Chain A
Amino acid sequence: MSGFILSEFGHFGLRMDIAHQWLLLVPSWLTEGRTSIFAPKATPAQLVFGLSMFVLAIAAAIFLATGGILAYVLIRYRRRATDSEHEPPQIYGSNQIELSWTVIPIIIIVVLFLTTARVIFNTEYATKPDAALDVVVIGHQFWWEFRYPKLGIVTANELHIPVSDPQHPTPTYLEMSSADTDHSFWVPQLAGKTDVIPNRVNVMWIDPQSPGLYLGQCAQYCGTQHAKMLLRVYAQSPNDFDAWVAEQRQPAKASTVDGQAVFLRNACINCHTIAGTIAKGRFGPDLTHLAGRDTIASGAVQNTPENLRKWIDNPDRMKPGCLMPAMHLNDRDLTAVVFYLTTLR
């Protein structure tokens, strides 16, 4: 069995080459999408891609053969006006023929199954390198919480991870659970999805090999705003990632703007945390470094002051059914809070 187990990351050798060759067969409109499952950018997705090409090839062959014979039969044996009224010879069966088309599919299935089993074990039994990054993922209705226990960081919706060099792998291990209903973590270019379930911890790993932004979203219906529980995974070079970590570990800078006072005296603090202040709510996303994020509302809209204002005034307008209530702040308070939040780098 040792040959079956992937003992080192990035050790594909032959398989990588084959995967790249398969990519040439797939039309570009299937691979250009930013969330295409046929545009793998990390090992788990690549393993799946290789298997999927193999399965597709077999399925295509079966379809052409069987469909071809079926089409032939329907055309060749159709009734023509010149046909006599006699019934054709009645054939009730044939043991040899029936045996052959039982045995051949069994052989195909065995081959398919062994290939499948190998990929299952390679993905699920991969050994975790020491240099792996641990992230705890908690699914909420309708946002993602990311905690880096060994780095002391808490953030939301936008996951920053280092790229992984195949020579010295630094994959990210995600330990996932849910605070409420079932969710599913799906970033197609990085890996297949894994469900995020309350009272259960599921582990998956990703190792993007080139820097970039990888998109995804929740893939298990979790309630009204399931559709806008988006994922953004920022794979960064080691330097960039370290810089990001350093920034995230800082508490919010002390601020004297009005907005902070508004924030702290309103119900905001019941749900949100801003490190370094009295706001320690856990129901909603951590806002300590909100201004550093590209999006708000779990990736639904760009993080601009206008959008922030609209969101705080009435989240239900942008994301109907989300669990943040409208804050009903007056104009002055609203402007102040928005300004304050834009300072939270």
Chain B
Amino acid sequence: MADSIPLTGPIDLTSTPKARPLTLEVLHAWVTTVDHKKIGLMYIGYALVFLVIAGLEAIVMRLQLAVPENSLVSPQVFNRMFTMHGTTMVFFVGMPILFGFGNYVIPLMLGARDMAFPRLNAFSFWIAAFGGLLLYFSFLGGDGLYGAGTAPDVGWFAYAPLTAKIFSPGHSTDYWTLGILLSGIGSIGTALNIVTTIICMRCPGMKLSRMPLLVWLYFVTCCMVFVAVSPLTAAQIMLLIDRYLGGHFFDTQAGGSAVLWMHFFWIFGHPEVYILVLPAFGFANEIIPVFARKAIFGYPAMVAASVAIGFISLSVWAHHMFTVGLGPGANTFVALATMIIAVPTGIKIFNWIATLWGGNIRFTVPMLFCAAFLFQFLIAGLTGIMLGAAPFDWQLSGSYFVVAHFHYVLVGAIVFTLFAAFYYWYPKMSGRLMNETLGKWHFWLFLIGFHLTFDFMHIPGILGMPRRVYTYQLDRGWGIWNLIVSIGVIFQVLGVGCFVCNLLRSYFKGAVAGPDPWDAWTLEWSTDSPPPVYNFAAIPSVQSRRPLWDLKHPEDPDSKYEL
């Protein structure tokens, strides 16, 4: 190897200590930044705030539903709660937090100094952030006929014609539409940025087949964003035309079709949930090998499976419409396509298990969360298969079984891997390790709460409880199950409380992490913690998928064995 220079840290030629900056200077730096790391952190911070807010909305709902015929909140308030909870969690927690991690980690993993379009990066963040503020302004600013309005109450999928002016007077629905429209613009901007960064900014030697799997998964995700978020944007423009220009896109009185909105929404909605879950797979793909001390098993198959999932997910949206009466031909085709997704998804699960097989598993907090993820994602996938069997779905759709299923994926798979990602990359982002003990408390409390709530939530669905009901009859027999579900929330709140404390405390008191606390193998661990603003002193050059493994094991480098 010619011209190798031992690299111990960033090259810093300044010798005078800098004066402490003013608060205003700090704020200004953050607001005007185009640095992918700062933008990533802003995305993550923003998402965490909305996670708490949407969590409060869920708590209100669970308190109301804990017993039958409850009158804790009025139906109007409850309907706003579930609408805002769903909308916030998908658009202002899920998307930002995943884009935030992607923003932070991807350029580092690629050996790049920043994203391809730093100013677009900042613009995308701020416009998406504004969308969330606009949505929440509805609590204060909405008005309309009979005092109706304030926050939207049409459900996160806002089926037409409930969203028509006559059924939703006032501006509540418009806050929903505009807030998400802006978020969508931000999403497309960031996705464009990520795809361009991946294609154009890889360091020398990093062929596509040598990229970390997280990067591959974000690549597929962002391609899906182009194809999936745009239909929602289009549908919302149509809705605005209906509501304000007298259009008839979804106006059934003029011959318009309510089903057309469903098609357009779910053409977005189904790929959207894969957009949310694929980055979670990406986190698992990075974390599990490091703590199992083995390379990921079957890298090419993992890439192929991810791409396959991306493609197939674009064709199955109508499984949200099995009860609409599309006809046996359509129902059958969609049932088949939905079940087929199980094949690449299964491949991923099996590959993760094979990665753990023969390994030397260290059960740090990130690994604990990933272990739980594996079990929970397996179950979520299986309940998904059940829902894909169309006649079974005729009973389960629109019931609490579906709510349980998708929370199993969103919380059991995505939130769990997100927690793992937090504990894993927090040392890189802040230079400090998070506290392991507090982390374990977080894990076990949240695990118990998650299972109490979402395991038992399947049962009211089987017993016939529909979703989006502000209360239910005493004689249905759903009371005891709803009570257990609501109790689980307490444990989740405690777990998240531990997490937030850990985040804050570790920043000031955590053990210093150094560049590579986990003995990992991808490029972000080769630079300082936190990385300097230019990421790397010199752009690295790689010969394999795990450049740091090669450096640590020069006698047994990956480049000799990779398929």
Listed in ascending order, the chain A residues whose CB lies under 8 Å from chain B are 30, 32-38, 45, 47-48, 51-52, 55-56, 59, 62-63, 66-67, 69-70, 73-74, 77-79, 83, 87-94, 97-98, 101-102, 105-106, 109, 112-113, 115-117, 119-121, 123-125, 141, 180-182, 184, 186, 188, 191-195, 197-200, 202-203, 215-228, 230, 320-321
24 A-B contacts (beta carbon < 8 Å) = A30-B459, A47-B391, A59-B383, A66-B350, A69-B353, A70-B353, A70-B374, A83-B360, A90-B561, A91-B295, A93-B299, A112-B389, A120-B390, A121-B332, A124-B331, A180-B167, A182-B162, A197-B259, A198-B258, A199-B256, A200-B259, A202-B324, A320-B76, A321-B76
CB-based contact B343/A102 at 8 Å: yes
Q: Which B residues from 317 to 346 make CB contacts under 8 A with A? A: 323-325, 327-328, 331-332, 335-336, 339-340, 342-343, 346
Q: Which residues of B contact A222 (CB under 8 A)?
A: 162
CB-based nearest A residue for B476 = A35
Contact for A101 among B350, B362, B385, B392, CB less than 8 A: B350
In the assembled complex, the Cα of A109 lies from the Cα of B328 at a distance in Å of 19
Question: Could you say which residues of chain A place their CB within 8 Å of the CB of B119?
Answer: none
Chain B residues closer than 8 Å to A62, beta-carbon distance: 382
A89-B292 Cα distance, complex, nearest whole Å: 11
Are A79 and B361 in contact (CB-based, < 8 A)?
yes
**Contact call B358/A89, Cβ cutoff below 8 A:** yes
B323 partner residues in chain A, CB cutoff 8 A: 184, 192-195, 219
* A219 adjacent to B162 (CB under 8 Å): no
Chain B residue nearest to A90 in the complex (CB): B295
Known A-B contacts A93-B301, A188-B464, A221-B155; the reply to A33 vs B476 at CB < 8 A is: yes
A residues in contact with B476, CB < 8 Å: 33-35, 215
Q: Of all chain B residues, which has the CB nearest A116? A: B389
User: Is B294 a contact partner of A90 (Cβ separation < 8 A)?
Assistant: yes
Counting chain B CB atoms within 10 Å of each CB, the highest count among A47, A198, A203 belongs to A198
- Closest chain B residue to A197 by CB distance? B258
Complex contacts, A89 vs chain B, CB 8 Å? 358
B327 — which chain A residues lie within 8 A by C-beta? Answer: 124
- Known interface pairs A55-B386, A116-B335, A191-B394; A33-B463 also in contact (CB < 8 Å): yes
Which residue of the partner chain B has the closest CB to A49?
B395
Q: Interface residue tally of chain B, by bracket?
A: 35 or more
From 353 to 406 in chain B, residues with beta carbon under 8 angstroms from any chain A beta carbon are 353-354, 356-363, 371, 374-375, 378-379, 382-383, 385-386, 389-399
Please give, as numbers and ranges, the residues of chain B lying within 8 Å of A225 by CB-CB distance: 75
- Distance in angstroms from B390 CB to nearest chain A CB is 5
Query: Among residues 61 to 93 in chain B, which have CB atoms less than 8 Å away from a CB atom of chain A?
Result: 74-76, 79
* Pairwise interchain contact A73-B159, C-beta atoms closer than 8 A: no
Q: CA–CA, A79 to B335, complex, Å?
A: 43
Q: How far is the CA of A98 from the CA of B76 in the complex (A)?
A: 52
Is A194 a contact partner of B346 (Cβ separation < 8 A)? no
Is B471 an interface residue when CB atoms closer than 8 A count as contact?
yes
Task: Identify the closest chain A residue to B382 (Cβ).
Answer: A59
> Would you call A105 and B342 a contact (CB within 8 A)?
yes
In this complex, what residue of A is CB-closest to B363?
A78
Considering the chains assembled together, what is the distance between the CA atoms of A124 and B553 in angstroms? 63
User: Apart from A34-B464, A59-B385, A224-B153, what 19 extra A-B contacts exist at CB < 8 Å?
Assistant: A33-B464, A36-B463, A63-B379, A77-B292, A90-B561, A91-B294, A93-B563, A102-B347, A105-B342, A182-B159, A192-B393, A193-B394, A199-B258, A200-B257, A217-B466, A227-B468, A227-B471, A230-B473, A321-B75
- Whether A98 pairs with B347 at a CB distance below 8 angstroms is yes
Task: Tell which of A56, A188, A226 touches B468, judged by Cβ atoms closer than 8 Å.
Answer: A226
Q: In the bound complex, how far is the Cα of B327 from the Cα of A203, in angstroms?
A: 11
Contact status B468-A35, CB under 8 Å:
no
- Contact between A73 and B357, CB atoms less than 8 A apart: yes
Q: Are A113 and B336 in contact (CB under 8 A)?
A: yes
Q: When A and B form their complex, what is the total count of cross-chain residue pairs whose Cβ atoms lie within 8 Å?
A: 271
Compute how far the CA of A221 lies from the CA of B162 in the bound complex, rounded to whole angstroms. 9
Query: Quick check: A52 and B335 within 8 Å, CB to CB?
Result: no
Are A192 and B398 in touch, CB under 8 angstroms?
no
Residue from A36, A219, A230 whose CB has the most chain B CB atoms within 10 Å: A219
Closest 7 CB pairs of A and B: A192-B394, A35-B464, A227-B469, A199-B252, A202-B325, A198-B252, A93-B298
Query: Which residues of chain A come closer than 8 Å to B468, judged between CB atoms?
Result: 221, 226-227
Which residue from chain A places its CB closest to the CB of B463 in the assembled complex?
Answer: A33
**Are the C-beta atoms of B294 and A113 separated by less than 8 Å?**
no
Taken together as a complex, chains A and B put the C-alpha atoms of A79 and B327 apart, in Å, by 54
Residue of A nearest to B328 (CB): A124
**B residues in contact with A48, CB < 8 Å:** 391-392, 394-395
Q: How near does chain A come to B393, taking the closest CB pair, in angstroms?
A: 8
Does A227 contact B477, Cβ atoms closer than 8 Å? no
Enumerate chain B residues within 8 angstroms of A101, measured Cβ to Cβ. Answer: 346-347, 350
Residue of B with least CB distance to A50? B391
Q: For residue B353, which residues in chain A have a CB less than 8 angstroms away from its CB?
A: 66, 69-70, 73
Contact assessment for B398 and A184 in the assembled complex, using a CB-CB cutoff below 8 Å = yes
> B495 within 8 Å of A by Cβ?
no
Query: Contacts of B295 on A, CB cut-off 8 Å?
Result: 90-92
- Is B176's CB within 8 Å of the partner chain A? no
CA distance A87 to B361 in the complex (A): 11
Q: Are A113 and B361 in contact (CB under 8 A)?
A: no
Alpha-carbon gap, A101 to B302, bound state (A) = 13
Q: Is A120's CB under 8 angstroms from B332's CB?
A: yes
A199 touches B297 (CB 8 A): no
CB distance from A227 to the nearest CB of B (A): 4
- Tell me if B562 counts as interface (CB < 8 A to partner A): yes
Separation in Å of the A110 CB from the closest CB of chain B?
Answer: 9
Known: A101-B346, A193-B395. A79 touches B389 (CB 8 A): no
**Structural contact, A59 and B386, CB atoms closer than 8 A:** yes
In the complex, chain A residues whose CB is within 8 Å of the CB of B252: 198-199
The verdict on A88 contacting B358 (CB below 8 Å), with A101-B347, A105-B346 known, is yes
CA–CA, A33 and B459, complex, Å? 11
> Does A109 contact B464, Cβ atoms closer than 8 Å?
no
Question: A199, B257: Cβ atoms under 8 Å?
Answer: yes
Give the chain A neighbours of B553 by CB distance below 8 A.
87
Flag if A194 contacts B297 (CB, 8 Å). no
Given A77-B358, A93-B563, A320-B76, are A55 and B385 also a contact pair (CB < 8 Å)? yes
Residue in B325, B399, B556 whose Cβ sees the most chain A Cβ within 10 Å: B325
**A197, B392: Cα distance in complex, Å:** 21
How far, in whole Å, are A26 and B543 apart by their CA atoms in the complex?
57
Per the 8 Å Cβ criterion, residues 537-559 of B in contact with A are 553, 556, 558
Is B311 an interface residue, CB under 8 A from the partner?
A: no
Bound-complex Cα distance A66 to B342 (A): 14
